[in-house]
Amino acid sequence: MENHKATEPIVFVIFGASGDLTSRKLVPAVYNLYLDKFVGVNFSLIGVDRRSHPEDEYRGLLRKGVDEFSRRGKTQDAEWDVFSKRLSFMDGDFSDPNTYKQLGDRIAAIKQQLNTEVHTIFYFATPPSVVEMLVHGLGAAGLTKDEKRSRVVIEKPFGRDLESAQELDIKLLTELKESQIYRIDHYLGKETVQNIMAFRFGNSLMEPLWNRRYVDHVQITVAEEVGVEHRGGYYDKSGALRDMIQNHLMQILCYIAMEAPVAFEADEIRNKKVDVLRAIRPIEAEQVNQFAVRGQYDSGWIRGEQVPSYRKEPSVNPDSGTETFAAVKLLIDNWRWEGVPFYLRSGKRMPARVSEVVMQFRPVPHLSFPSSAIPDFTPNRLVLRIQPNEGIFIRIQVKQPGATFRLRGADMHFLYKETFKVAEPEAYETLLLDIAHGDATQFMRADQVEAAWKVVMPIINAWEGSTPIEFPNYPSGSWGPDAAVTLLARDGRNWWVPTAIQDHT
Ligand code: BG6
């Protein structure tokens, strides 16, 4: 969150170094930070994995990942050659103390060579099941002893439910201080998500309207076109509620609903977010069906191509009851939002990849126009488009030019690509830099993660306790099951078709 300059020497250790996250996100992010001179030549990256790779082959693999996934496109030889000298690989079993001993020796050699202390960032790009083992191995080898200079980064989902998250926290805190733990949610690194605070608290035109007096309801949609791809093994044990709603969507909701922070400080902002989660009305066990909907994709068509059903995806149980779509209605019991529903939905194999927040305002108190002037009248609507074609849109009513007096809707818009000509950094770039500087504002504190689990636990319990006989219940390429439409229709509302689809701006 702070404005960062180049960092002190960093040793960046990635556990799970042959995995997807490393090649698609982490290494491209580090490479871009290097090109942008946010990390100097005195950084080192050590990849650790069970699968062994000769050093050269490993560097080649990482380069391929950068070429394919970096926002800058293909690497240039001269730049890559210098950068790749900072990359090395170590194979090792995470359960073997010797792995951590060897790692410690490597870090010590780097310090000696640089003749200075270094910051060590241990990134767990691994399944959640090995997190405890890693923390214990690092702790036993004394690698996380320096509270100021060593940090661990843990990917979501943090635990599988409230109980396991609490147990994991207790175990982590036997080896680490809370200030060393960075629970990462990459949505918090997205420019458009960070911009919610700027937009709300930097504009006197906006903030006074964000409350129950003016807002009818809020919708948060995170839709993906892709299916589970090759992550069936992980996803089948997770599902949309744990994979997306409990973290990414809940974080967006916190920014939309939080009170203004007194200061722009990590704990202050995180306190305000926790207040939102604590104010969400608990869903009673017998009411889950009125507040939550689950779905699983069937085969269907996406961009003219036939795609298989979820149950036919690799590493997925052919009778799987895992949801690939979830929609939830939440109510926030506080002065600002009492009675304003927040509808959240996320799913795979939807018609498009689009994430948007829609704030639907109430109609004006009194329409003085003749009925002939307002056949198409719609109340104001604010759309924050998180991705793609990032921007903000405000639907207003204007007089249609002509001799007769007639109102019609028009959009005022801000588009990143129009206003800012430079490419935005990727979420992981922003977040890695924050970690390097020890800035925890955009990371989740233990109480925040637990509060988010508390919100979804009644739904998890209800869903785990009943087999979804209706699955699969939505075709690929659709907006989810009919029950999701009913969820809003019961309240006399309907889901907004994302602007990204409507206007292709
Ligand atoms: C990840 C989920 O956290 O976010 C994935 O595990 C999902 O299932 C991804 O595809 C979506 O991220 P983005 O940045 O592409 O919206």
The answer to whether residue 499 scores a pLDDT higher than 90 is: no
- How high is the pLDDT of residue 505? 40
Please give the helix or strand (H or E) that residue 193 lies within, else none. helix 191-201
On whether residue 248 sits in a domain, the answer given is yes
CA distance 195 to 419: 14
Q: State whether 228 and 113 are in the same domain.
A: no
Q: What is the pLDDT of residue 297?
A: 98
Residues 322 and 461 reside in one and the same domain = yes
Q: Which residues of 448-477 are buried (b: 16+ CB within 10 A; e: fewer)?
A: bbbbbbbbbbbbbebbeeeeeeebbbbbbb
Distances (CA, A) of 354 to 241, 357, 430: 18, 10, 21
Query: Is 185 touching ligand 1 by the criterion CB < 6 Å?
Result: no
DSSP-based three-state secondary structure for 210: coil
Residue 206, pLDDT score: 86
Token code pair at residue 220: 């948060």
Other Cβ atoms within 10 Å of 132 Cβ, number: 14
The answer, yes or no, to whether any atom of ligand 1 lies below 6 A from the CB of 236, is no
Q: Are residues 281 and 330 in the same domain?
A: yes
- Do 205 and 102 fall within a single domain? no
Give 24 Cα–ligand 1 centroid separation in angstroms.
Answer: 12
Is residue 323 in contact with ligand 1, taking CB distance under 6 Å? Answer: no
Which residue, of 128, 155, 182, is where some domain finishes? 155
Residues 219 and 299 in one domain: yes
Indicate the pLDDT class of residue 56, thresholds 50, 70 and 90: confident
> Do both 261 and 320 map to the same domain?
yes
Residues 328, 224: one domain? yes
Phi-psi region at 370: left, alpha or beta (left = phi > 0; alpha = psi -120 to 50): beta
pLDDT at residue 3 tops 60: no
Residue minimizing CA distance to atom 13 of ligand 1: 187
CATH number of the structural domain spanning residue 69: 3.40.50.720
Mean of per-residue pLDDT scores for the chain: 93
Flag whether 175 is in a domain.
no
Q: How far apart are CA 30 and CA 212, in angstroms?
A: 43
Q: Are 138 and 175 in contact (CB under 8 A)?
A: yes
Hey, whose CA ends up nearest to atom 10 of ligand 1? 224
Give the list of residues 6+ apart from residue 301 with CB closer than 8 angstroms, or none: 307, 475, 476, 477
* Shared domain check, 121 and 198: no
CB of 390 shorter than 6 A to ligand 1: no
Predicted confidence at residue 173, as pLDDT, reads 93
Which ligand 1 atom is at minimum distance from the Cα of 155?
Answer: 3
Query: Could you tell me if 128 and 17 are in contact, meaning their C-beta atoms sit under 8 angstroms apart?
Result: no
Please say whether the beta carbons of 288 and 252 come within 8 A.
no
- DSSP assignment of 324-365: SEEEEEE-B-STTTTT--EEEEEESS-SS-EEEEEEEEPPPS
Tokens of 459: 């739904």
| Residue owning tokens 């050659």 | 81
**pLDDT recorded at residue 498:** 83
3-state secondary structure 13-74: EEECCCCHHHHHHHHHHHHHHHHCCCCCCCCEEEEEECCCCCHHHHHHHHHHHHHHHCCCCC
Q: What is the CATH number of the domain that holds 290?
A: 3.30.360.10
Residue 463 in tokens: 């869903």
Residue 207 lies in a domain: yes
pLDDT of residue 504: 40
pLDDT band at 7 (very low <50, low <70, confident <90, very high): low
Q: 257 and 137: one domain?
A: no
Q: Can 186 be counted among the known catalytic residues? A: no
Residue 402 lies in a domain: no
Tell me what pLDDT residue 42 has.
82
Residue 311 lies in a domain: yes
Residue-number span of the structural domain to which 345 is assigned: 192-354+440-501
- For residues 236-241, average pLDDT: 96
* 327 and 273 within one domain: yes
Mutation pick for ligand 1 pocket among 185, 224, 322, 430 (CB with most ligand atoms within 8 Å): 224
Contacts 24+ apart (CB under 8 A), 102-111: 103/13, 103/46, 103/48, 103/141, 103/143, 104/141, 104/142, 104/143, 106/46, 107/11, 107/13, 107/46, 107/143, 110/9, 110/11, 110/44
Task: Please tell me if the CB atom of residue 224 comes closer than 6 angstroms to any atom of ligand 1.
Answer: yes
DSSP code for 211: S
Pair (14, 92) in one structural domain: yes
- Out of 101, 126, 155, a domain closes at 155
- Among protein residues, the one with the nearest Cα to ligand 1's atom 8 is 243
In a domain? residue 40: yes
Tell me, yes or no, whether 182 lies in a domain.
Answer: no
- Does the C-beta of 243 come closer than 6 Å to ligand 1? yes
* 222 CA: nearest ligand 1 atom: 16
**Three-state secondary-structure class, residue 474:** strand
* Tokens describing residue 288: 């889950």
Identify the residue whose C-alpha is closest to ligand 1 atom 6. 243
Asked if the model's pLDDT at residue 497 lies above 90, the reply is: no
Residue nearest to atom 14 of ligand 1 (CA): 187
Is 291 within a domain? yes
Confidence of residue 4 (pLDDT cuts 50, 70, 90): low
Q: Please indicate, yes or no, whether residues 87 and 222 belong to a single structural domain of this protein.
A: no
Distance from C-alpha of 225 to C-alpha of 344, rounded to nearest angstrom: 17
Nearest partner of 138 among 11, 8, 7, judged by Cα: 11
Ligand 1 and 356: CB distance under 6 A: no
Instruction: Tell me which residue has its CA closest to atom 15 in ligand 1.
Output: 224
The SS3 assignment for 441 reads: coil
Q: What is the pLDDT of residue 214?
A: 97
From 225, 244, 316, 357, the mutation candidate for ligand 1 (largest count of ligand atoms within 8 A of CB) is 244
Number of domains present in the structure of the chain: 2
Mean per-residue pLDDT, 156-165: 92
Question: 430 with 189: CB under 8 angstroms?
Answer: yes
Q: Give the end of a domain, one of 101, 134, 155.
A: 155
How many angstroms is it from 171 CA to the middle of ligand 1?
27
For the stretch 120-152, pLDDT in tens is 999 999 988 899 999 999 999 999 999 999 999
pLDDT value at position 37? 87
Instruction: State the average pLDDT over residues 312-327.
Output: 97
Nearest atom, ligand 1, residue 190 CA: 14
Residue of 186, 248, 437, 504 marked active site = 248
- d(CA 407, ligand 1 centre) in Å: 40
